[in-house]
Amino acid sequence: MRQRIYSVVALTAVVVLGTPFTLRGDSDKDPQAARRTLRQLGFKTDLTDFNFSADPATAGRVRLLTNSLQVRPPLLLEPSGSDSAIVAWKQRALQNEEDGYQSLPPIDQVLATNQAGLDAACTAILAGPIRFPLNAQHGSAMLLVHLAPLKSLSQSLSARLILRLREQRYAEAWTNLLAVTRLATAWDPEPVDISHIVRFGLIQTAWKATWQALQSHVWTEEQLRVLEREWESVDLFTALPETAAFNRACLVDTCIRERTNTASGAPFSLQQAIESPASALAETKYRLERMKYNSTGTYEDEHDLLLFFADRERELRAAVRSANWLQMQSLPGATNSPVFTSKHRSRLGSLLNLRQMSRSMALEGKSLLSGAAAAEARRRVVVVALELEQFHLQHGAYPANLSALPSGTLKALPQDFIDGHSLHYRVAAPDAFVLYSIGVDGVDDGGQVSLTESSSPPYRTRDPFDSPDILWPRAASDAEAGLVQSAKARKKEEERKRWELEAKEHELEQEQQRRATIARLDRIYLSGGVAKVVDKEYDGKMLSAVLRNPRLPGSPVSLNEMLTLRQVITGKEPELATFELPISYDVIRHIGNLSLLCDADPSEEYDGDVETRELQRATNGNCRITWNTTYEAPGEHFLQACLWIRPPEGRGKRRNPAYEEMVLKGPLFKFVSTNVIQILPMDSFFTQKGAWFRAKLAQSIGSYTLKISSPSGEPIHSISGSTPTAGWS
267-323, pLDDT tens digit by residue?
666 666 676 777 778 777 777 777 777 788 889 999 999 999 999 999 999 999 999
The more confidently predicted of residues 489 and 688 is 489
| Residues of the chain above pLDDT 90, percent | 48
CA-based nearest residue to 532, from 422, 640, 391: 640
Could you give phi then psi for residue 342, rounded to 5 degrees?
A: -105, 145
pLDDT given at position 659: 59
Sort residue 279 into left (φ over 0), alpha (ψ -120 to 50) or beta. Answer: alpha
Partners of 426 in beta bridges: 434
* pTM, full prediction: 0.75
pLDDT given at position 152: 93
SS3 per residue for 162-210: HHHHHCCCHHHHHHHHHHHHHHHHCECCCCCHHHHHHHHHHHHHHHHHH
Alpha-carbon gap, residue 50 to 20, rounded angstroms: 37
Of 392-401, 475-484, 600-609, 614-623, minimum mean pLDDT range: 600-609
Q: How many CA atoms lie within 13 A of 412 on its CB side?
A: 4
The more confidently predicted of residues 365 and 496 is 496
The alpha carbon of 423 is separated from its chain's Cα centroid by a whole number of angstroms, namely 36
The alpha carbon of 358 is separated from its chain's Cα centroid by a whole number of angstroms, namely 13
CA-based nearest residue to 254, from 37, 47, 557: 47
Q: At 688, is the pLDDT very low, low, confident or very high (cuts 50, 70, 90)?
A: low
pLDDT given at position 283: 73
Query: In the chain, what are the domain boundaries?
Result: 56-77+86-133+144-189+202-218, 512-675, 681-723
Is the pLDDT assigned to residue 605 strictly greater than 80?
no
Long-range pairs for 286-293: beta carbons < 8 A, 24 or more residues apart: 287/15, 287/16, 288/15, 288/23, 289/345, 290/264, 290/346, 291/22, 291/23, 292/23, 292/25, 293/258, 293/344, 293/345, 293/346
* Segment 323-342, tens digit of pLDDT: 999 999 999 988 887 888 88
Alpha-carbon gap, residue 460 to 52, rounded angstroms: 32
Q: How many CA atoms lie within 13 A of 170 on its CB side?
A: 10
Q: State the DSSP code for 404.
A: G
Alpha-carbon gap, residue 601 to 517, rounded angstroms: 8
Q: At 540, is the pLDDT very low, low, confident or very high (cuts 50, 70, 90)?
A: confident
Angle between helices 193-214 and 368-395 (to 10 degrees): 20
Of 176-190, 541-555, 664-678, minimum mean pLDDT range: 664-678
| Residue 621 to residues 584, 585, 617, Cα–Cα distance (Å) | 6, 6, 6
Q: What b-and-e string marks burial along 582-613, b requiring 16 or more CB atoms within 10 Å of the CB?
A: bbbbebbeebbebbbbbbbebeeeeebebeeb
Sort residue 554 into left (φ over 0), alpha (ψ -120 to 50) or beta. Answer: left
Sort residue 586 into left (φ over 0), alpha (ψ -120 to 50) or beta. Answer: alpha
| Residues of the chain above pLDDT 70, percent | 84
pLDDT given at position 714: 78
Say if CB 643 and CB 563 are below 8 A apart: yes
> Rounded mean pLDDT of the chain?
84
Alpha-carbon gap, residue 385 to 378, rounded angstroms: 11
Is the pLDDT assigned to residue 175 strictly greater than 90?
yes
Q: At 16, is the pLDDT very low, low, confident or very high (cuts 50, 70, 90)?
A: very low
pLDDT given at position 290: 76
Q: CB neighbours (10 Å) of residue 208?
A: 22
Strand 576-581 relative to strand 566-568, pairing = antiparallel
Alpha-carbon gap, residue 289 to 281, rounded angstroms: 12
Alpha-carbon gap, residue 46 to 40, rounded angstroms: 14
pLDDT given at position 8: 42
Q: At 386, is the pLDDT very low, low, confident or very high (cuts 50, 70, 90)?
A: very high
pLDDT given at position 418: 97
Alpha-carbon gap, residue 9 to 459, rounded angstroms: 51
* Segment 256-266, tens digit of pLDDT: 888 887 655 56
pLDDT given at position 655: 47
List CB contacts of 326: < 8 A, sequence separation 6 or more.
418, 419, 420, 442
CA-based nearest residue to 578, from 639, 625, 635, 640: 625
Q: CB neighbours (10 Å) of residue 322?
A: 19
Is the pLDDT assigned to residue 480 strictly greater than 80?
yes
Is the pLDDT assigned to residue 546 strictly greater than 50?
yes
Mean pLDDT of all residues in 518-528: 87
pLDDT given at position 15: 42
Residues counted in the chain: 729
Mean pLDDT of all residues in 154-159: 95
List CB contacts of 460: < 8 A, sequence separation 6 or more.
98
Alpha-carbon gap, residue 668 to 650, rounded angstroms: 34
pLDDT given at position 458: 41
The more confidently predicted of residues 500 and 57 is 57
pLDDT given at position 56: 94
pLDDT given at position 682: 58
Alpha-carbon gap, residue 555 to 46, rounded angstroms: 77
Alpha-carbon gap, residue 253 to 348, rounded angstroms: 11
Say if CB 469 and CB 448 are below 8 A apart: yes
Say if CB 419 and CB 440 are below 8 A apart: no
List CB contacts of 588: < 8 A, sequence separation 6 or more.
547, 594, 623, 643
Sign of CA dihedral 368, 371, 377, 383: negative
